[in-house]
Structure formats: C-alpha cells, structure tokens
Amino acid sequence: MLSRLCVLLLVASVFCKRTDITVIGHRGHGCSGPSCISQIPENSIPAYLAGRAEGADRVELDTWLTADNQIIVVHGGAATTHGSLVGSVVNEAPGGVTPLVEQTNYENITEYHVKMPWVVEKPAKGYETDSYRTPYQPYMHLPLFKDVLKAVCPTGAKIQVEMKGNNPNLAPALIALLQEMDLVDCVHGFSSFYWGTYNGPIQADLFKPIVGKSPVPLFLLFNLDTYQLPSADQVVEAVRAYNASGIHPCFDQFDEPNKTYIIQRAAQEGFAVMSWTPGHRADTPDEMRHLIDKGLKEICTNNPGQLRRILDAM
C-alpha cells in the first residue's frame, strides 16, 4: 500500500507541475546591473544559453541599428541619447567619450569588451557603473542579432525581441533578416517602448512601418517613469490601434489599483500580458509568487532558474 502511494505521489509530482506559465529570461540570464544577480554578461550569447539551460522557455533581448545598419544586441540607453554603450562595455573610449549605438559602426563597437562579472567581489560602497573594471574571461564583444539567432534557435527557445532607438528602419531590418535566415518562427514577438503617445515624446514610432503586415506578433511596452499603466480602456484601444497581440508592463506597475482589472480585461479581449522585472534590482520568490497568484501566464525574470524551481514545486 505504501509503495503504491509513493508511486502515485511520484506521478503527481511529474504531471502536476505548472506548465501553463511561460518563463522568459530577461536579457537572457538576468541583468548586469549593480543590484541584479547575473554573473553572466547580459544580452550575451552565454547568457541566453544559460537562461535556457535553467528552464527559460524564451529569452528576451534588446536590439538597435548601428550607424552601418547592423542589428546589434545591447540594452543601451534612452532613445534620446541614441543608446549609450555604458553599462555593457568598459567606458574607455578615446578622449573619454562614450560611443552611442546609432552613431557608431559595428566594427568600432567591437573595440570594447563586455563587463564581467558584476556580482563577484563587487565593492560594497562607492560603486560606479562607468568605472567598474572587472573583465570577463575570455573577452566578449556585443553580439550581432544574427549570431544570437544561430546560437539560440537550435535550443528550441523562442526569442522576445525588444526594439530600441530612433531608427524606423529597425523593424523592417529585423523582419528581412529573419526571413533571409528562415527563422521567423524562432521569434515570439517584437516589443518596444517607442510607439504612440503613452510613453512620452519619441523621435520615431518603431512599430509604424510594420503595423498590420508584420509576420511577427507585436507587444506594447509601457514607460516606467510614471509607474502607472493607462486605463484598461486605453490599453485595449492601443492594442487594437497597433494590431498588437498583447502588452508587456513592468512588475512594479502591477502595484497600481487597476492591475487586476487590466489582467482580467486582457483575458476578455484575448490578448496576452507579460510582466517583467526592471534591471536595477533582482526578483524575489515572493514577487514571483505574487505574479503567479495574479494569474499572469508569462513572466520575464532576472532569475529564470528560480522561477522554474518555484513552478516545478507547485
């Protein structure tokens, strides 16, 4: 009798795990920020492979167009600055001037090495992102998107592509590359902050050139500055206007009074909601459980392994 019970419990542990929630690795394996947990450089091929190995169903990454129209993977800075490389590479530019992604050719960007590690022997006080000098061995450069596709797609993981910057040619360039490599199905969706009116002034609407004709689904990101989502009606209006498949609000925005209603409204309207945690801090198990309890089915986390373990234990 006891042996039969043990077998039943074992079977239940296998088949009753949460499989209805998608785990997405934020920038692969987490953010390389002062308060984040990743010991692997963010937005690097090793980060995507590590996130996948730890149970991520998808990996999220950031893309820009360089001055010579190469699609590079890097978080960069605000669109108004064309994306500073500080925070991803050592700030040792000639004359002390940090290169900006959209104003620099990719060949020149490869002169800079990715910072690594961020959390090993980090100084307790006086931490300055721009002056941190611990390099990764072997040295790595910021990858091109095509090289990320070659490395990640064979693992079976889908890629969530965030579009950044002021160049309206980015989305068409992404689609052209995916079609050329026959890897459209490897990308789950395009997301961006740079659209419409809810995210403040922008120089270019990155969705506009592909609305209604993209072979890749579109997802709307919302600005963190206000830490507040638009009303549910405004969210629905924006999704419809852009023919989008869903929205990607930040975890912190779910502390607003209308969070539950927006999640419920999204379900009624048939579009997806994926939450993500900012790069300036790490996720906690309690935060992850909070998102699960709210009914979210897609969670983009700085610690995909931790989220996967939580889901497997449910």
Q: Which residues contact 109 (CB under 8 A, 6 or more apart)?
A: 66, 72, 85, 89, 99, 101, 141, 142
- The string of pLDDT tens digits covering residues 112-162 is 766 655 444 443 433 344 333 444 445 577 899 999 999 999 999 999 999
Task: Report which of 204, 198, 252, 244 is spatially closest to residue 227, judged by C-alpha positions.
Answer: 252
> 19-81+143-312 adopts what CATH topology?
TIM Barrel (3.20.20)
| Predicted structure pTM score | 0.86
- The string of pLDDT tens digits covering residues 49-93 is 999 999 999 999 999 999 999 999 988 765 445 566 655 554 445
